[in-house]
Amino acid sequence: MENNELIKEVTAKAQTWLTDGYDAETQSAVRRMLEAEDKTELIESFYKDLEFGTGGLRGIMGAGSNRMNIYTVGAATQGLANYLKEAFADLPEISVAVGHDVRNNSRKFAEIVADIFSANGIKVYLFDSFRPTPELSYAIRKLGCQSGVNITASHNPKEYNGYKAYWNDGAQIIAPHDVNIINHVNRIKDVRDIKFEGDKSKIQIIGEEIDNQYLDAVHTLSLDPEVIKRQSDLKIVYTPIHGTGVKLIPESLMKWGFTNIIHVPEQDIPSGDFPTVDSPNPENPPAMAMAIAKAKEVGADLVVASDPDADRIGCVIRDNDGEYQLINGNQIVMILLNYIMLRNRELGRLQGNEYVVKTIVTTETIKAIAENNGIKMYDCYTGFKWIAAVIRELETKDRYLGGGEESYGFLAEDFCRDKDSVSAISLMAEICAWAKDRGMDFNQMLQEIYLKNGYSHEEGISVVRPGKTGADEIQQMMVNFRANPPKEIGGSKLTCIKDYSNLTCTDAATGDISKLDFPTTSNVLQYFTEDGTKVSIRPSGTEPKIKFYIEVHDKMADAADYARCNADAAAKIARIKKELGI
């Protein structure tokens, strides 16, 4: 589309926001964009409507159809309400749970969501203040709700907010419900179709009682309470990075029996401005700097963090030189699943119907760990809604042990259906106590996992391309990678190409094509090589970026070989990045 045509289109769209249905503040912001000589902000705000991605609705806050505001939140909620009344027409009363994080406008958006649901005759359980995302998932199941909404933008920068929609199993919404909701949202052609005037008699405030029930449930996941008694004074530094985790994670650790929880006081302050960090993302070393400084000060055994909505976990351990180092999301999932499988075996709980789940971009070493323990492993798409879909499909047949993804998410339980840092951090502390009780540190335990199951090293690279032009560029990059696959990667020949956009697996040597068994298509491309290297490429579903996941493998001769493996892997990944042009 030519730029003049695009400006004409977004101008017409923006002018519809100057009607009486929109408040004065919104109209003023839109008028300013229309009158500005530079039309960039106008285009970015109106060139498309926010859509459900891997994490639901997410965007920069501001006026416009491509922004998070009371009208986009309102349209999404009205569409969801309309669909719920259609999908559950046989129920005498439909109910939903609504939660939110600490971000700017989160409480405001949550109350608007509650008002709209109630105005549509739907019972609402609204949390009294911010809560971890996994507790919202738990509440949906516990209260027997048909749906739920959490206002959060997870670990995105402070300019963002988001809207996660959940179904009656406590999982984020997938097909066909996501498409059906969007269809209902698209039928709302006028802001006056949104019922903003709430029915307070339909809104019930919830809080402490659900907190206690949820924490009791999380405590049932402990696999070695005796080792915690022996290591109760383990030095644990924890930071919520200004987020919701401060509400429940220290309390969970204490409930499990840990008595020496060391805070980072400046980051215990809930704030949507995230004043001590540029980005509240525990996978980024700068976000963990204050916690690491505290760990050095007190000689901590473990450093853990949660992101703003407390569904993701960050973890820092000491390396061979005693320095504190951030471990990646793949390693977090490996450590947690390895422990859960091991302890279940030691406790005699394995009956042969257990399984674990990972996403397709998460390390293949988890498959090796599962196979070595005689446990089934399932692959699924990126996003915890897909792990939840596997749990839902198997919940009456097999026993879920745990599941995770490379993006620092893990779920140890099935009473919740979204990634959960409350349980993950509690388990990680238990694992640290378990290792220390055996005279090992976390780094030695990680090396032991690699010795038994093969060494792997992973790196994720995000190439940011914001806005309309960025979206077009990302689309073209995917076209180019599909049209021009490499013959080899990192010096190893390609063996197959998996393209989830058409669910095909192509043999690189013969050209033979087989079908991939997945529930739907997805814009993901993967290359596999003879030496086990895996490269995955996908546009983000929640941010303006294209993501590359590089995974290389090696064999460790012994623990002393770990440094050599790390150095070789780093060099190989650097070579692959250069080959891919990233």
Active site residues: 154
How far, in Å, CA of 287 to CA of 311, rounded? 16
How far, in Å, CA of 54 to CA of 41, rounded? 25
User: Is residue 580 within 8 Å of residue 535, measured between CB atoms?
Assistant: yes
Angle at 524 between CA 520 and CA 529, to 5 degrees: 120
Query: Distance of CA 216 to CAs 136, 221, 250, 256, 562, Å?
Result: 15, 9, 14, 10, 39
How far, in Å, CA of 578 to CA of 339, rounded? 36
Q: Which residues pair with 461 in a beta bridge?
A: 548
How far, in Å, CA of 425 to CA of 244, rounded? 14
Pairing of the two strands 261-263 and 236-239:
parallel
Which is nearest to 172 in space by CA: 483, 416, 351, 425? 416
Please name the residues in contact with 445: beta carbons below 8 A apart, sequence gap of 6 or more.
335, 431, 435
How far, in Å, CA of 103 to CA of 270, rounded? 9
Q: Which residues pair with 160 in a beta bridge?
A: 60
Q: Which residues pair with 151 in a beta bridge?
A: 100, 163
Rounded to 10 deg, the angle between the 208-219 and 249-256 helix axes is 40
* Torsion angles phi and psi, residue 51, rounded to 5: -125, 160
How far, in Å, CA of 322 to CA of 481, rounded? 41
How far, in Å, CA of 380 to CA of 404, rounded? 10
